[in-house]
Chain A
Amino acid sequence: MAKLVFLGRLEDVAGMGEMSVQPGPVEHVLASLDPALAVQLLGEKVRMALNGALLTDVGGVVLAEGDELAFLPPVSGG
Chain B
Amino acid sequence: MLDVRLALDAFDPATEIAAFNTRHHHAGGIVTFLGQVRDSGGVEALELQHYAPMTLPGMEELARITHARWPVEGLLILHRSGVMHPGDAIVLVCAAARHRRDAFAAADFAMDHLKSESWFWKREKTAKGWRWIEPRPEDREDLSRWG
Contact = CB atoms under 8 A, between A and B. Distances in A.
Contacts of A7: 49, 51, 121
B32 interface: no
Interface string A31-59: 00000000000000000010110000000
Interface residues of B, number: 27
**Chain A contact residues: over half helix, strand or loop, or mixed?**
loop
A72 B51 contact: yes
Contacts, number: 64
B119 A72 contact: yes
A8 interface: yes
Interface string A6-23: 011101100000000000
Contacts of A11: 49
A70 B136 contact: no
